Amino acid sequence: MKKETILLVEDDPDEAELALFGFGKVGGDYDIQLTRNGEEALDFLFARGCHAERPDSRKPNLVILDLDLPRVNGFEVLKQLRQSTDYRYTPVVILTTSDEQSDILQGYQLGVNSYLCKPVDFESFADLLQQVSHYWLRNNAIPDHHKQAR
């Protein structure tokens, strides 16, 4: 059985490390790919640039996206994802420190599936990652023609 790929887009090294550690606590159920800015995330998603050799088997089944990213911000990444037929139905979760109503509204207007604020303690963060990944990759139903081998 193929491991499902989660793309984690996080520029803060400490938060990225915490998230990877949290996913490690969840178990080895997923193939976690980390990109550190919006441009690199788009390159990974669309298999171009330094990620041109990304195999189709690693096309993300879930994107966890920060907003405040260098080069290309999270809103632009989300916009480009939703404009692509390849990612129109791929679950995207914004995981950020911003609880600004304008950011939440813009995220939903651009087609995010869920908008979550990062918990401050590790246990809560690890639990949230587990809940998010299990919900979107195990419990959520998506159209058959957009499913990848699970």
The yes or no reply on domain 4-146 and CATH 1.10.3720.10 is no
- Give the pLDDT confidence score for residue 84 in this predicted structure: 96
- Reply yes or no on whether the pLDDT at 38 is more than 80: yes
Coil/strand/helix, residue 64:
strand
Coil/strand/helix, residue 55:
coil
Q: 9, 64 in Cβ contact below 8 A?
A: yes
Binning pLDDT at 50, 70 and 90, where does residue 20 land?
Answer: confident
Edge-to-edge strands, sheet with 4-9? 30-35, 4-9, 62-65, 92-96, 114-117
Query: Is the model more confident about 28 or about 130?
Result: 130
- Reply yes or no on whether the pLDDT at 37 is more than 50: yes
- Reply yes or no on whether the pLDDT at 53 is more than 80: yes
Binning pLDDT at 50, 70 and 90, where does residue 147 land?
Answer: low
**pLDDT averaged over every residue in the chain:** 89
- Give the pLDDT confidence score for residue 6 in this predicted structure: 94
Residue whose token pair is 């600004």: 100
Q: Stretch 22-51: mean pLDDT, rounded? A: 89
How many Cβ atoms are within 10 Å of 120's Cβ, its own excluded?
A: 8
Binning pLDDT at 50, 70 and 90, where does residue 23 land?
Answer: confident
Name the E strands within the chain.
Answer: 4-9, 30-35, 62-65, 92-96, 114-117
